[in-house]
Amino acid sequence: MSNFDPGTFLDATITEANTKRSPIPAGTDVVAIIGEPKTRQWTGKADPTKSGIAVDVPLAIDLSAYPDLQKSVGADRVILSDSIMLDLTDNGGIDNSPGKNGKLRRYREALGMNTAGQPFSFRMMQGRMIKVKIKHRTYEGEIYDEVDSVAKA
């Protein structure tokens, strides 16, 4: 059992500064393990009349498998989060009609889970390996790693 005490933790002081790690270079392909997917509702920032459901997919990248990256990034493990915005039917189910849910289709194909007649659920993705290509997003001068695309590991 842990000796963690939330009250003591909140009053504890530290003197070290938090340090930003270097980004994974854009265009790099790495293998990740999918964590537990979580759903959330979203509302458009620019257009609040738009809303929907997204599935956030955590992707754990073990950089010890890539020694050069591990050294340049300065971390042993990186966890990125990718979001799958869902197209839903009027009844609230996944819209499987042509051209709908393209990102979900790409994930399922990369995982070998896009076969008609075979059961699929988002939780079935957890623990599986997938290859991700990294891209960068800049916000207020900071560079953030993001998932550009997914493929079979």
Question: What is the distance between the alpha carbons of residues 54 and 43, in angstroms, rounded to a whole number?
Answer: 10
Per-residue pLDDT, 1 = 60
Per-residue pLDDT, 3 = 82
Backbone angles phi, psi at 22, to 5 degrees: -70, 150
Q: Note the pTM of the prediction, 2 decimals.
A: 0.88
Longest alpha-carbon distance in the chain? 57
Question: What is the distance between the alpha carbons of residues 39 and 48, in angstroms, rounded to a whole number?
Answer: 19
Kindly calculate the radius of gyration of the chain based on its CA atoms and give it in whole angstroms: 19
Q: Which residues of the chain have a pLDDT value below 70?
A: 1
pLDDT in tens, 51-86: 999 999 999 999 999 999 999 999 999 999 999 999
